[in-house]
Amino acid sequence: MENNFFGEETAIILGLGELRVGKCPMGTIGLGSCIALILHDQRRSLAGLAHIMLPESRGEVDRPGKFADTAIDALLGEMGRAGSTKSSITAIVVGGASMFEFSANSLNIGERNAVAVKGLLQEQGIRIEHEETGGKVGRSVYYWPEEKGRLIIKRADGTCAAL
Amino acid sequence: MELDPFQKDALAELGNIGAAHAATSLSQMLMSPIEMTVPEVQAIDIADLHKYISNEITAMVVFQIQGEIADGGYVVVSMPRETVIQLTNQMLGTVDADLDREINEMDQSAAIEIGNIMISAFLDATAELLGIVMLPSPPALAIDMAHAAFESVVAQVASDVNDVLIFNTELTSEAPPVYGSIYMLPNTELTQQLFLMLERMMEPLS
């Protein structure tokens, strides 16, 4: 299990603030307080993934993937143009950990990120199929959009979850 | 953000002086010589961060830069977990052959203490050069995937910019075999201020 992430297929790795819609395998490495938001359209084997860094864009538009509000709009827009309808899209939300101990300050922004993403999904009426947020560990996420979609979450403590 | 060669040089020199002081204090504490690399200064696009920061389990001690410049950004000391265990052994005078053991509370304290000592020296030296006061906040610690901890720090400095300025120096010692890096991530205001101060310092005397 440990090493076949990169071995079996080459996923496109999305960096901080990037987003992508497509049929190819996608992933993010080392999610801390950030959120990996995956929107999946089973009928079209199409998925969108965003590596969201902060909850609110406050008017910034140049990197839609960076903020929860702009990322969801951009993903839905792009998937809509590919033929998806809101009713056929489900969501997976991973990340939003609080990485630091001995710190009461703003470094632990993960929780706010998770709340923002989930609130926005609810506003849009998109069902959350799977969620793994909060906690204290970093995570890597890999997603294969074909058919029902396949998700692997690898946690920093060495455990894995496959779906 | 594009750094011109002059800015790159000036910032590297600033990092060099800071890191040299940090290395000296580490060396005194471990009573062993410490080697350090020439600091690299890079403006990294946040989307490319995962190409520079590994995903190995790493201890990251994070300090916010305070003082004259409020919330000036962050300084980070990162060490692989084996190094943390080595340092704990060194500080306690214990011999612990098992470097694969679980990280315990003593290791956390050791990591924080080492971070404190190094970063105090780093900020003192850079601030003195610039003629300002920079103080570290109390430390925060994460022992986790390096990238996961790093992006939480980047999220704080890059809310309205898409690249971050990263100073990176590696420190190594052979006995005990330890290895670590210092990163400095100034926020937008501090970055601008750094450029201004460095430019002023480089002006010819008239």
Is residue B149 within 8 A of residue B142, CB to CB? The reply is yes
Taking only residues 125 to 164 of chain B, the set having a beta carbon closer than 8 angstroms to any beta carbon of chain A reads 137-142, 144-156, 158-160, 162
The string of pLDDT tens digits covering residues A109-129 is 888 899 999 999 999 889 999
CB–CB of B46 and A16 under 8 A?
Answer: yes
Question: Which residue in B76, B102, B144 has the most chain A C-beta atoms within 10 A of its own C-beta, making it the best mutation to test that interface?
Answer: B144
What's residue A79's pLDDT?
Answer: 92
pTM to 2 decimal places: 0.84
Highest mean pLDDT: which range of A2-16, A82-96, B175-189 = A82-96
The nearest alpha carbon in chain B to A96 belongs to B152
- Beta-bridge partners for B64: B74
List the one residue out of B177, B65, B81, B54 whose CA is nearest residue B132: B65
User: Residues of chain B whose pLDDT is less than 70?
Assistant: 96-97, 206
Does residue A45 contact residue B166 with C-beta atoms inside 8 Å? no
In the prediction, which pLDDT does A2 show?
36
- Cβ separation B138–A102 shorter than 8 A: yes
Which residues does chain A have within 8 Å of residue B154's beta carbon, measured at their own beta carbons?
A: 16, 53
Total domains present in chain A: 1
- Return the SS3 of A107: coil
Query: Which residues of chain B does A138 touch, with a Cβ-Cβ cutoff of 8 Å?
Result: 144-145, 147-149
A160 touches chain B (CB under 8 A): no
Interatomic CA distance for residues A28 and B193, integer angstroms: 34
pLDDT of residue A105: 60
Residues whose CB is less than 8 angstroms from the CB of residue B70 and which lie 6 or more positions away in sequence, other chains included? none
What confidence tens digit (pLDDT) does each residue in B151-195 have?
888 888 887 788 888 888 888 887 777 788 888 888 888 888 888
A95, amino acid identity: G
CB pairs under 8 A between A and B: 116
Query: Count of CB atoms within 10 A of residue A3's CB?
Result: 7
pLDDT single digits (tens) A23-78: 888 889 889 889 999 999 888 888 999 999 988 888 777 888 889 999 999 999 99
DSSP letter at A101?
Answer: B
Which run of H or E residues covers position A20?
strand A19-22
**What CATH number corresponds to the domain at position A120?**
3.30.1330.200
A29 close to B (CB below 8 A): yes
Q: Band of the pLDDT at A7, cuts 50, 70, 90?
A: very low
Which residues of chain A have a CB within 8 Å of the CB of B153?
107
Tokens 């910034």 — which residue?
A60
Is residue A102 over pLDDT 70?
no
SS (H, E, C) chain B: CCCCHHHHHHHHHHHHHHHHHHHHHHHHHHCCCCEECCCEEEEEEHHHHHHHCCCCEEEEEEEEEEECCCCCEEEEEEEEHHHHHHHHHHHHCCCCCCCCCCCCHHHHHHHHHHHHHHHHHHHHHHHHHHCCCEEECCCEEEEEEHHHHHHHHHHHHCCCCCEEEEEEEEEEECCCCEEEEEEEEECHHHHHHHHHHHHHHHCCCC
Q: Which residue of A has its CA nearest to B64?
A: A107
Going by DSSP bridges, is the β-strand pair A160-162/B73-80 parallel, antiparallel, or unpaired? Answer: unpaired
Q: Is A34 labeled as catalytic in the residue annotation?
A: yes
Query: What residue numbers bound the domain in which A31 lies?
Result: 4-162
Q: What does the mean pLDDT of chain A come to?
A: 84
Measured in angstroms, the CA of A163 and the nearest CA of chain B are apart by 22
Which of B60, B52, B16, B51 shows the shortest CA–CA distance to B180? B60
Q: Which amino acid is at B64?
A: Q
3-state secondary structure at position A57: coil
Q: Is the peptide bond before B176 cis (omega within 30 degrees of 0)?
A: yes
C-beta atoms of A30 and B108 within 8 A: no
> How far apart (Å, rounded) are the C-alpha atoms in residues B116 and B120?
6
* Minimal CA separation from A104 to chain B, in Å: 9
**Which residues 119-158 of A are in CB contact (within 8 Å) with B?**
136-140, 156
Interface test with B, best of A52, A103, A132 (most B CBs within 10 A): A103
Residue ranges and CATH numbers for the domains of chain B are: 5-82+111-201 (3.40.1550.10)
What are the Cα distances from residue B104, in Å, to B101, B163, B193? 9, 35, 40
Helices (H), A34-141: 68-81, 110-124
Say what the pLDDT of residue A91 is.
92
Q: Which strand (E) or helix (H) includes residue A7?
A: helix A4-8
Interface test with A, best of B145, B160, B185 (most A CBs within 10 A): B145
Residue B103 near chain A (CB below 8 Å) = no
Cβ contacts of residue A112 below 8 Å, gap of 6+? A55
Q: Which of B60, B206, B143, B148 is nearest to A35 (CA)?
A: B148
- At residue A8 the predicted structure's pLDDT band, cuts being 50, 70 and 90, is very low
